[in-house]
Structure 1
Amino acid sequence: MNAGVHAAGVVVATRPLDQIVPLCRPTGGSSDDVVTQWDGPTCEKVGLLKMDFLGLRTLSIIERARRMIMDDLDEQMIWSAVGRQDQSDQPGQVHPLDLERITYDDPRVLELFRRGDTAGIFQFESGGMRKLLVDMQPDRLEDLIAANALYRPGPMELIPAFNARKNGREQVPRIHEIIDRHTSETYGVMVYQEQVMLVLHELGGIPLRTAYTIIKAISKKKHEVINAAREDFIAGSASKGVEPAVANELFDLILKFAGYGFNKSHSTGYAIIAYQTAYLKTYFPNQYMASLLSFESQARKIEDWSVYLDECRRVVFPDHEESKPHIGVEVKPPDLATSMADFAVSFEEGQQPGNCSGTVRFGLRAIKGAGDTAIRSIIHERDENGPFKSLFDFCERLDGRTVNRATMEALIKAGAFDSIHGVDNRASLLASLEDAINAGSARARDRREGQSTFFEAFDEAAVTEEAPANMLRQVEPWDKMKTLSQEKEALGFHVSGHPLDQYQGIIQTFASTRSDSIGQLKSDASLVMAGMITRLRPVTTQKGHKMAMCTIADRGGTVDGVIFPEAFSNIGDSLVQDVPVMVIGSLDSSRAEPGIIIERVIDIEQAPQPLGQSMQIIIDARESEDSEPVKQSMQMVSGLLRRFSSTVAALQGRPVEVRILLRQEQRDVLLSSPRMRVVPSRELLHQIEDVLGSGSVSVQGGFVPPARSNGRGRRGGRNRSHAAASSH
């Protein structure tokens, strides 16, 4: 038998524990650790108090955000940020950052919950919870407490009734005066264990301690205890004038709720912390998101915490207005000149600090491979002796044993040297790194030995300032995709851009949804989404068939996908990670978070072939005095269309109708032939543009293939147009 140790359980007694329970030291634990040899339930049976003390990272996030606000803003700014006058000298006035004493009815904060804008808000982050909030429209702390208790397996089935009753779509039923009184706060729904206990106690005459035991018995389906409790409840209710048949029905109602009733005090504590985080996000968005990113980047996997970078772009600032929008916390890449170890708020030179100004600068500790010792050394040297002037200056001033080559490579790839050398010199920096390390080591060695160069003796600063341009090796700069891929290698994601940016024309034309709006689709709806597969995990079913689980990322965030065996047998060999693709499938709403049942994955540049609705060719005859060249162009295009409609390419996509727009001086003429249909392949589009010029052909999107798995789909749709030039 293997004995485990509870991660946070603490046993409390009124006298030394070794007089009550056998103790031992756990294998592999600290020499100071002492644990009971009895399990938790046994300890409780003999009357010991067992409590769970859990560490909560959110409390550290809150405290760090408070410190950052106080460091960045003066007292007057802090008070005005929340729309109040500085009244710190007045007795009884609560400071805006005294979060234990603020009121919990701020309309701005509650509006954040009503919008479902709760990414980074404790206990309210999941897609399902955000959907619950939007439907509930909470307007008081009690609603948040109830939401926290309801969003759990079991009570979830009560959510529609709770929301309908709260918002007047359904009448609150009247059952019994005692039950109605104790459930008035929750619209006739027994959400909490405390409500069930009070009903058992006041209506059935059952002592509160026994009522708690009954609740535990109901949740664990201990029928002997439940049946005995039913008899006691019916007997006790008789003294309140309740008929036995009615009391029996009321006990059945209690059974329904008690099986998954949640502890209200627990839910209240969570809701208060959630409100405090929402308060900071509402009034001090930069500082709160910087604090959140600092802790989450050190505690979670990259794919789990990088979603907060996407959330930053959607944060609403307190000065936002429809006529003057202010949405999005700007997170700037790491910078050797200004970045701290953790994420921090920075203000441009001359910029007035405030709760609605500044940007969040990436923390150096979030760079993969950059250890704490190296980061501390870099920041200390910068603070003591000024900014680094070049890569060579950096290598000279820092000990290579503390800041090693791997750390320097990560800093270059992450863009930390961009403010010194520029983004176009990242390739040159990497090529020159060996030279810089050697030069820095030699210079440091000379200094230790008391030597100096001729130039150093006159003006050391002049040498270091002249060094960058002369010493970097000249190599071809990385293209955008290479730059972004190196960023992802160093950071785990992209900061200065996104690989999908260059395909915006294709995405707008052919994609039907994004990761951040997929939850708005109907269950099983067919969809097309652009993104990159960032995680791919092949699995084998019990029957021996291969399938895969994956994660698809776009600009808006990430969404999980599943590729079942039939689809995997067709596309499994062509699945590649971190490459822009179009994902075709249907909405998977079987889990708490919406996902995708994937049927096809295609190269994003090939999107027109299976997803096009029609193709339009423009022939411009307005500036041509001679009609012959126009006729020749039309003949050449006609020949191309006939050739491509009869080749094997016609079988490798979706044939679409072709329309020709002939632009003339007096009028435009639209020509079409329903019988002429071709697959808009890249080769055809390129050849048409070779004849007519760039931008002369476009493919209209909007077609969403119906899902094979459920037989339902959406044909037709939006009349969107994608210019072929953007797919080159």
Structure 2
Amino acid sequence: DLLRRAMGKKKVEEMAKQRASFVAGCAETHDIPEAQANRIFDLLEKFAGYGFNKSHAAAYAVVAYQTAWLKAHHPVEFLSAMCTNDMGDTSKLSVLIGEAKAMGIDVLPPDINESRVNFAPARGGEVIRYGLAAIKGVGEAAVEAMLEARDEGESFTSLNDLCHRVDLRAVNRKVLEALIKAGACDGFGHTRASLVAQIERTLSRASSDAADKARGQETLFGMLDADQPEADDIPAALRNMAEWPNAEKLAHEKELLGFYVSGHPLEPFLGLIDSYATHSVSQLAELPGRTIVRVAGLVSEVRRGISRKTDKPYCIATVEDLQAEFGVLCVNENYQKFNELLEVNQPLMFVGEVNNTEDVPKIFPQDIFPIEDAPKRFTKQVHLRFKVEGMPKDTLEGVRELAEAHHGSVPLYLCLRQPDGTSVFVEADERYNVAPGSEFQAAANDRFGPDTYYVKVDTDLPEPQRRFHKNVNRDSQ
């Protein structure tokens, strides 16, 4: 049975050990010559590499053909079903949603008036609508209650209308809060912050009205309020609240849906990342081991602990951009230097060494810092680009004012583009050195036009450092 187990587990070393026993057994039991026994064992060894019986392989081939046909001819329905099947696994769900986008199919956020229980085709089968049951904290019982009320009447027009028409035993405060934070109630015309603030008051009123209705009663105030606009019942202070900061709004989406819907926290930094990062996250997996990179991303997960081997603290973070993710390991001195920076939802830039020995790339950092610090660290020159032809007379005065308003230590150059396509570079006096960054870029482009601002970036990277023992990660977990 040892040979069978070695084949099943695909253990090459164990298979090699069993060869001698197999050959000896063939000779002793069946008088099979050694050469022939070795040929038979070679067949077994090859099959152990990756072998299917024919019926098993045929069954898989049929399923592969069927799913490929569905994806090719009914992609919206196929991907809707796939998303529903994996809606409890956010990592798989993100892959499927990325696949949909690559195929030109929009995956729309949940909507209280269009979503079904699961992911489903919508708008004539052209898009996929996120299922309400896929929102964390919203169970199928609550969804069924809302769909029953919606299908019996018209679309929900407001939070008050929703609370008055559904079974509040199934649709409670927790469910409503999850729906609002996930964006499913955006169609009601109020900010998410305002809708959350209205929940308690609206639920209380709906519960009271439902109790009166169940007793066959209607209050005097209820009859008087029947003809009043619904909004009059909600104070203006609750109706007109400002929206949450974008980072908070997106954090709620990530928590409840598993991905960002109305944007991504890295979007404000994409210009800086494009200028100052040497690689994108998706490129890391293709790099040779020990390559030094400068890469940026958003911290999505942080785990801290104490190493069983060294009894020292460690930190393991997962960092993502809009397409892929990588891991970051901090131990020893790096833990002391970078631990406080590694917090969830922090946009950071990393300089370090790539390790691709596992499924997800990992970086051993030499430096970690906020993305907005990249310009002052790596900008060699700032260029302001102008077309000489038609350049206003007050341009140089405007440059002087801009440089004085953003004084710093980086040399400023004027790039004067000639009508024949050549460019002349003029270095400003060091008195007009500037502080590069998003503020200066926005000011320059607003004043002189898009693409005026350009930076020359230092792309030199440090040498790989001698690292800790390669098994520290395995021992620390």
State if a TM-score over 0.5 links the two structures: yes
**CA–CA distance in 1 between the matches of 2:85 and 2:129?**
14
Q: How does 1:88-167 map to 2 (within 5 A)?
A: none
- How many Å apart are 1:297 and its aligned residue? 1.4
Aligned match of 1:343 = 119
- How many Å apart are 1:610 and its aligned residue? 3.5
Out of 415, 429, 446, the position equivalent to 1:661 is 415
Out of 117, 126, 135, the position equivalent to 1:367 is 135
Larger radius of gyration: 1
- Opposite residue 83 of structure 2, the aligned amino acid is L
3-state SS, counterpart of residue 615 of structure 1:
strand
Bigger mean CA offset, 515-524 vs 475-484: 515-524
Report whether the alignment pairs 1:378 with 2:378.
Answer: no
Q: How does 1:38-57 map to 2 (within 5 A)?
A: none
Q: Is the 8 A contact 2:403 2:433 kept in 1?
A: no
Out of 388, 393, 417, the position equivalent to 2:161 is 393
Q: Unaligned regions of 5+ residues in structure 1, if any?
A: 1-40, 46-151, 156-216, 238-243, 315-326, 352-356, 646-656, 712-728
Out of 17, 22, 35, the position equivalent to 1:226 is 22
Aligned match of 2:461 = 705
**CA–CA distance in 2 between the matches of 1:687 and 1:273?**
54
**CA–CA distance in 2 between the matches of 1:697 and 1:592?**
39
Q: Deviations over 1:371-402 (max 9, x none)?
A: 22211111111112222121011111223332
- How many Å apart are 1:578 and its aligned residue? 1.2
**CA–CA distance in 2 between the matches of 1:673 and 1:234?**
93
- How many Å apart are 1:445 and its aligned residue? 2.2
Out of 386, 392, 413, the position equivalent to 1:623 is 392
**CA–CA distance in 2 between the matches of 1:383 and 1:630?**
62
Q: How does 1:439-458 map to 2 (within 5 A)?
A: 439-452=205-218
Out of 308, 317, 327, the position equivalent to 1:560 is 327
- Opposite residue 286 of structure 1, the aligned amino acid is V
Q: Deviations over 1:638-676 (max 9, x none)?
A: x945xx37xxxxxxxxxxx65333579999641249999
- Opposite residue 264 of structure 2, the aligned amino acid is H
- How many Å apart are 1:540 and its aligned residue? 3.4
3-state SS, counterpart of residue 435 of structure 1:
helix
3-state SS, counterpart of residue 87 of structure 2:
helix
**CA–CA distance in 1 between the matches of 2:446 and 2:61?**
65
Aligned match of 1:414 = 182
3-state SS, counterpart of residue 556 of structure 1:
coil
Q: Deviations over 1:143-191 (max 9, x none)?
A: xxxxxxxxx9769xxxxxxxxxxxxxxxxxxxxxxxxxxxxxxxxxxxx
3-state SS, counterpart of residue 513 of structure 1:
coil
- How many Å apart are 1:259 and its aligned residue? 5.1
Out of 350, 355, 361, the position equivalent to 1:588 is 355
Q: Is the 8 A contact 1:563 1:599 kept in 2?
A: no
Report whether the alignment pairs 1:264 with 2:30.
Answer: no
Judging changes above 3 Å, is the alpha-carbon distance between structure 1 residues 547 and 471 closer, same or farther for their aligned structure 2 residues? closer
3-state SS, counterpart of residue 239 of structure 2:
coil
Q: Is the 8 A contact 2:135 2:257 kept in 1?
A: yes
3-state SS, counterpart of residue 313 of structure 1:
helix
Report whether the alignment pairs 1:514 with 2:280.
Answer: yes
**CA–CA distance in 2 between the matches of 1:395 and 1:556?**
39
Out of 301, 304, 309, the position equivalent to 1:538 is 304
**CA–CA distance in 2 between the matches of 1:267 and 1:684?**
60
Q: Is the 8 A contact 2:23 2:38 kept in 1?
A: no
Out of 195, 201, 225, the position equivalent to 1:429 is 195
Identity of paired residues, percent? Answer: 25
Out of 328, 333, 338, the position equivalent to 2:104 is 328
Q: Deviations over 1:172-223 (max 9, x none)?
A: xxxxxxxxxxxxxxxxxxxxxxxxxxxxxxxxxxxxxxxxxxxxx9649446
Q: Is the 8 A contact 1:514 1:556 kept in 2?
A: no
**CA–CA distance in 2 between the matches of 1:635 and 1:677?**
6
**CA–CA distance in 2 between the matches of 1:632 and 1:261?**
71
**CA–CA distance in 2 between the matches of 1:563 and 1:267?**
45
- Opposite residue 308 of structure 1, the aligned amino acid is L
- How many Å apart are 1:410 and its aligned residue? 0.6
3-state SS, counterpart of residue 503 of structure 1:
helix
Bigger mean CA offset, 461-470 vs 477-486: 461-470
Aligned match of 2:471 = none
TM-score, normalisation: structure 1: 0.54
Q: Deviations over 1:87-146 (max 9, x none)?
A: xxxxxxxxxxxxxxxxxxxxxxxxxxxxxxxxxxxxxxxxxxxxxxxxxxxxxxxxxxxx
- How many Å apart are 1:464 and its aligned residue? 5.5
- How many Å apart are 1:290 and its aligned residue? 1.0
- Opposite residue 570 of structure 1, the aligned amino acid is K
- How many Å apart are 1:596 and its aligned residue? 3.4
**CA–CA distance in 2 between the matches of 1:517 and 1:568?**
26
Aligned match of 1:597 = 364
Report whether the alignment pairs 1:403 with 2:171.
Answer: yes
Kindly indicate whether structure 1 or structure 2 has the higher relative contact order, using CA contacts under 8 Å at least 6 residues apart.
2
3-state SS, counterpart of residue 600 of structure 1:
strand
Q: Is the 8 A contact 1:509 1:701 kept in 2?
A: yes
Q: Is the 8 A contact 1:427 1:478 kept in 2?
A: yes
**CA–CA distance in 2 between the matches of 1:685 and 1:441?**
55
Report whether the alignment pairs 1:312 with 2:312.
Answer: no
Q: Is the 8 A contact 1:612 1:703 kept in 2?
A: no
Q: Is the 8 A contact 1:586 1:707 kept in 2?
A: no
- Opposite residue 96 of structure 2, the aligned amino acid is Y
Q: Would you say how many aligned residue pairs link Structure 1 and Structure 2? A: 456
- How many Å apart are 1:705 and its aligned residue? 2.5
- How many Å apart are 1:568 and its aligned residue? 2.7
3-state SS, counterpart of residue 114 of structure 2:
coil
**CA–CA distance in 1 between the matches of 2:58 and 2:434?**
60
**CA–CA distance in 1 between the matches of 2:148 and 2:442?**
60
**CA–CA distance in 2 between the matches of 1:471 and 1:438?**
18
- Opposite residue 660 of structure 1, the aligned amino acid is L
Judging changes above 3 Å, is the alpha-carbon distance between structure 1 residues 257 and 391 closer, same or farther for their aligned structure 2 residues? same
- How many Å apart are 1:261 and its aligned residue? 4.5
Q: Is the 8 A contact 2:404 2:432 kept in 1?
A: no
Report whether the alignment pairs 1:281 with 2:50.
Answer: no
- How many Å apart are 1:255 and its aligned residue? 6.8
**CA–CA distance in 2 between the matches of 1:613 and 1:418?**
45
Aligned match of 1:475 = 241
Q: Is the 8 A contact 1:585 1:597 kept in 2?
A: yes
3-state SS, counterpart of residue 86 of structure 2:
helix
Q: Deviations over 1:423-459 (max 9, x none)?
A: xx21211121122112212222222232347898799
**CA–CA distance in 2 between the matches of 1:256 and 1:471?**
75
Judging changes above 3 Å, is the alpha-carbon distance between structure 1 residues 556 and 458 closer, same or farther for their aligned structure 2 residues? same
Judging changes above 3 Å, is the alpha-carbon distance between structure 1 residues 533 and 613 closer, same or farther for their aligned structure 2 residues? same
Judging changes above 3 Å, is the alpha-carbon distance between structure 1 residues 453 and 529 closer, same or farther for their aligned structure 2 residues? farther
- Opposite residue 698 of structure 1, the aligned amino acid is Y
TM-score, normalisation: structure 2: 0.78
**CA–CA distance in 2 between the matches of 1:563 and 1:255?**
45
- Opposite residue 699 of structure 1, the aligned amino acid is V
Cα RMSD of the aligned pairs, angstroms, is: 4.5
